[in-house]
Amino acid sequence: MAWSMEGTFFENCSCDAICPCTWSNLGRRATRDYCRAAMAFQIASGDVEGVDVSGRSFVVVLDTPAVMTDGGWRVGAFVDDGARADQVEAIGRVVSGEVGGPFAGLAPLIGEFLGLEQAPVTITSDGRQHHVEVGDVVDYRAEQVVTEGGERVELTNIVIHPAGPTLGVATATARSSPFGITWSGEGLSGFSNRFAWAA
């Protein structure tokens, strides 16, 4: 059965800006001995196999080796605590790649799924700055990088990223520990942009 989803995406990872894993399409090592990330998705409109998920938010958490193509990723996800049980289940099918779409391509790299939980998810954005919080375990703020003329700085041809192929570059400050996966710091990598999926 067909499904679609679109909205706004905000990411932070433990790499120094700009994350080499992302700009190289997973071809380069992270700036640390791991890459840990939270990818937040604010759904403006969406229908997953007959379940309306419009207005919901979810955050996917990754813990990967420094070379992401080595696999063995640890992955977990949060859905906002206002979602109904059928909406949580539908979003879970998208995140797992069960219904196809961008996450299906990453599924072979996942070694351990840490769970799908509901929690308070708050995402605020003014178009230039954004702030993502998941309960007391995810907290990152980022600012979009722009040119002197105010144009967004973007990465293009990012074919392995769920929210690609174009990502707006941001720098982030984070203090996060979801599923026991910890990272924090300033000047960290961030991305934001619209996303639109269909399968």
Segments forming the whole domain that contains residue 62: 3-194
**Residue 18 belongs to a domain:** yes
d(C-alpha 119, C-alpha 122), whole Å: 10
Burial of 122 (0-12, 13-18, 19+ CB in 10 A): middle
Contact 77, 92 (CB under 8 A): yes
Burial of 95 (0-12, 13-18, 19+ CB in 10 A): buried
Contact 44, 7 (CB under 8 A): yes
**Residue 165 belongs to a domain:** yes
d(C-alpha 85, C-alpha 45), whole Å: 18
At 167 the pLDDT is 96
At 192 the pLDDT is 95
At 11 the pLDDT is 97
pLDDT in tens, the chain (199 residues): 689 999 999 999 999 999 999 999 999 999 999 999 999 999 999 999 999 999 999 999 999 999 999 999 999 999 999 999 999 999 999 999 999 999 999 999 999 999 999 999 999 999 889 999 999 999 999 999 999 999 999 999 999 999 999 999 999 999 999 999 999 999 999 999 999 999 8
Helix spans in 42-102 (H): 85-96
d(C-alpha 116, C-alpha 92), whole Å: 7
**Residue 199 belongs to a domain:** no
At 49 the pLDDT is 95
Contact 178, 123 (CB under 8 A): no
Q: What region, left, alpha or beta, does residue 192 occupy, with left being phi > 0 and alpha being psi -120 to 50 degrees?
A: beta
**Residue 175 belongs to a domain:** yes
**Residue 109 belongs to a domain:** yes
At 2 the pLDDT is 87
d(C-alpha 24, C-alpha 4), whole Å: 28
Total domains in the fold of the chain = 1
At 143 the pLDDT is 95
**Residue 46 belongs to a domain:** yes
Query: Residue 60 carries which DSSP code?
Result: E
Indicate the residue type of 77: A
d(C-alpha 73, C-alpha 36), whole Å: 10
